[in-house]
Structure 1
Amino acid sequence: AATAAGSLTRPARAQIFPGQQQFLPQLTIAVNVTLSGPLQKYGQEVVKGVQAAVDEQNRFNAPISHVWGLRSLDDRNDPALAGANANVAAADFNVIGMIGNLTAPMTLAALSRYANVGFAVIVPTVTADAVTKRGFHNVYRLPAKDSTAGRLFASAALEGKRGVNAVAVSFDGDYGSDVASGFVDRAKTEHRAAQSLLFPLRSTDPAEAAHTILDRSPNYVFLAGKTTELGPIAQALRVAGYTGEFGVSDGFYNSDTIATYAKTLDGAYVASPMPPIDRIPSAVQLVTDFEREVSQITTQSAFGYAAAQLLIAAAHRNNATNRQSLLFSLQSGGTFTTLVGQFSFNISGDPLIPNIYLYTVSSDGFKFARPAIRTGFVF
Structure 2
Amino acid sequence: MVILTSVLATGALTLTACGSRDDSGDKKNSGSSTTFTIGVDAPLSGENSTTGLGIQYGVQVAVDDANKNNWVPGVKFKVEALDDKAQPANGQQNATKLVGDKTVVGTVGPLNSGVAQSMQQVFASADMVEISPSNTNPELTQGKNWQTDKKRPYKTYFRTATTDELQGSFAADYAANNLKKKKAFVVDDKQTYGAGLAKIFGEQFKKLGGKVVQTDHVNTGDKDFGSLVTKIKNSGADLLYYGGQYDESALITKQLKDAGVKIPLFGGDGMFATTYIDVAGKAAAGDLVTSVGVPVDTLPAAKQFVETYKAKGYKGDYGAYGGYSYDAATAIIKAVKAVKDANGGKLPSDINDLRSKVVEEVQKSDFQGITGKVSFDQYGDTGNKQLTVYQVENGEWKAVHSGTANLG
> Same fold by TM-score, threshold 0.5 exceeded?
yes
CA displacement at 1:200 relative to structure 2: 4.2
Q: Go from structure 1 to structure 2 and tell me whether the alpha carbon gap of 1:308 and 1:171 turns closer, same or farther (over 3 Å shift).
A: closer
Work out which of the residue numbers 249, 257, 270 in structure 1 matches 2:276: 257
Structure 1 stretch 14-23 or stretch 241-250: which is displaced more? 14-23
Pick the aligned partner of 1:55 from 57, 61, 64.
64
Aligned equivalents of 1:356, 1:57: Cα separation in 2? 28
Q: CA deviation at 1:197?
A: 0.8
TM-score (norm 2): 0.75
Map of 2:325 onto structure 1: 304
Aligned pair 1:368/2:389, yes or no?
no
Deviation, structure 1 residue 302: 3.4
1:153-302 residue pairs with structure 2 within 5 A?
A: 153-162=171-180, 164-173=182-191, 175-201=193-219, 206-273=225-292, 275-295=294-314, 298=318, 299=320, 301-302=322-323
Q: Which of residues 67, 70, 87 is equivalent to 2:75?
A: 67
Matches within 5 A, 1:143-154: 143-154=161-172
Identity percentage over the alignment?
Answer: 22
Report the Cα offset of residue 89 of structure 1: 4.0
Cα displacement string for residues 229-261 of structure 1 (whole angstroms, at most 9, x for unaligned residues):
234443444455434444233333233432343
- The Cα offsets for residues 129-187 of structure 1, whole Å up to 9 and x where unpaired, read as 44333611210122233443222222234334446222222233454222211111222
Distance in structure 2 (CA, Å) of the matches to 1:43 and 1:85 = 15
Query: Residue deviations 1:33-53, cap 9 Å, x none?
Result: 455777777655433322221
Moved more, 74-83 or 175-184: 74-83
Match of 1:313 among 334, 351, 362: 334
C-alpha change, 1:205 and 1:57, in structure 2 (3 Å) is closer
1:12–1:67 contact (8 Å) kept in structure 2:
no
**Closer, same or farther: CA 221–69 of 1 in aligned 2, 3 Å:** same
Asked if structure 2 preserves the Cα contact closer than 8 Å seen for 1:149 and 1:355, the reply is no
Structure 1 length normalisation: TM-score?
A: 0.80
1:2 aligns to what? 4
State whether residues 73 and 85 of structure 1, in contact with CA within 8 Å, keep that contact through their aligned partners in structure 2.
no
RMSD: 3.8
SS in 2 for 1:159: helix
Q: In the alignment, what sits opposite 1:377?
A: none
Q: CA deviation at 1:55?
A: 1.7
Question: Could you tell me which residue of structure 2 aligns to residue 345 of structure 1?
Answer: 376
The alpha carbon displacement at 1:117 in A equals 0.9
Identify if the C-alpha distance between structure 1 residues 82 and 244 changes in structure 2 by more than 3 Å, giving closer, same or farther: closer
Query: Match for residue 133 of structure 2?
Result: 124
Contact 1:52 1:305 in 2 (8 A): yes
- Aligned residue for 1:331? 363
Cα shift at 1:106: 3.7
SS class of match (1:2): coil
- Cα pair 2:84 2:90 within 8 Å, conserved: yes
**CA-CA distance at 1:279 after TM superposition:** 0.8
Unaligned runs of 5+ in 2: 12-18, 145-152, 348-353
SS in structure 2 of the partner of residue 360 of structure 1: strand
CA deviation vs aligned residue, 1:100-120 (integer Å, no higher than 9, x gap) = 334444432221111111111
Compare 319-328 and 34-43 and name the one that shifted more: 34-43
Cα pair 1:343 1:352 within 8 Å, conserved: yes
